[in-house]
Amino acid sequence: MPPISRRGWVLLGFGFLVSLSPLLWEPLVAEYPAETGVGLALLYLWSALPFFVLAVLGEGLKMRSPTFLVAALLVTGATVAVQVGVLLYASGSTDALAFVFLPLWLSVVVGLLAVFERAITTGVRRFRRG
């Protein structure tokens, strides 16, 4: 595994902050807040998985900064949208399963984005060489 760069560590710190933030704001705004416990914290912490995947792949595949930023914004936006949607506007008992499956889906999307970016960069370099 390649060492994580400074931008990767910043992203990981931000990812942990975003993932655990419902522990702070959810009891204040939710009509029926969940009881805070270790299991709930671990469930929220699971949401940091795509941030970790992005930090590692961003360094391992030498992602360009614009692609890294787009992927980081995608992961952050989807994570926050699911947190707000599930914790404040859930309509059924299965809505909370998004906390389990969204990090897996986002990790796959981040991996595909990194591989596609690398493939396009390599293809453009080979095309230019002629």
The two three-digit tokens of residue 39, written as one number: 């299991």
Distance CA 78, CA 72 (A): 10
The two three-digit tokens of residue 33, written as one number: 């807040």
Cβ 111 vs Cβ 53: under 8 Å: yes
pLDDT score of 7 more than 80: yes
Q: What residue has token string 């969940």?
A: 34
Tens digits of residue pLDDT in 74-129: 999 999 998 888 888 877 777 778 888 999 999 999 999 988 998 998 898 888 88
Cβ 100 vs Cβ 45: under 8 Å: no
The pTM is what? 0.82
